[in-house]
Structure 1
């Protein structure tokens, strides 16, 4: 089972949508709150290669994108394989 991490910001509708998608897949994941100005936010930006928007999703340490990206992977039928779901 891959390690899945998602950096989120409270009140962010895209974060809520991405978390719900991951929950619907039934895979374990770690949600990390990354408020502006926190170390978690700085870590997320650094790990993603400079992306500053939330959410940010990582699978086994690899940045796979944000909400739109994982939704597109799901529509293409590629997300389950990536997450080890299904």
Structure 2
């Protein structure tokens, strides 16, 4: 089973779009880490990813990046194989 983790906030439109794309590709569960609800998680996210913006998405242990990175993987037909690995 694929483990998808997404650092996000409640009002981020790119987070919502990322979740929609992942669900369209068959992901049924996403572990959401809300950095707006738990500000300490922002520091953890920045240390893990080197980035400050949300969403930050991990598929299994692979850091995919943000929504633009996720969409680019999908356009290159590399998202589904990653989800199935």
TM-score (norm 2): 0.87
Unmatched 5+ stretches in structure 2: none
Q: Distance in 2 between matches of 1:13 and 1:82?
A: 24
TM-score (norm 1): 0.86
Supply the RMSD in Å over aligned alpha carbons.
1.8
- SS at 2:77's partner residue? coil
Runs of 4+ in structure 1 over 6 Å off: none
Q: Distance in 1 between matches of 2:78 and 2:69?
A: 11
How far does the alpha carbon of each residue in 1:41-78 deviate from its partner, in whole angstroms, 9 at most, with x for none?
11111111x20000000122221110000000001100
Change (3 A) 1:37 1:4: closer
What is the total number of aligned residue pairs between the two structures? 84
Map 1:1-86 to 2 at 5 A: 1-27=1-27, 28-35=29-36, 38-48=39-49, 50-84=50-84
Unmatched 5+ stretches in structure 1: none
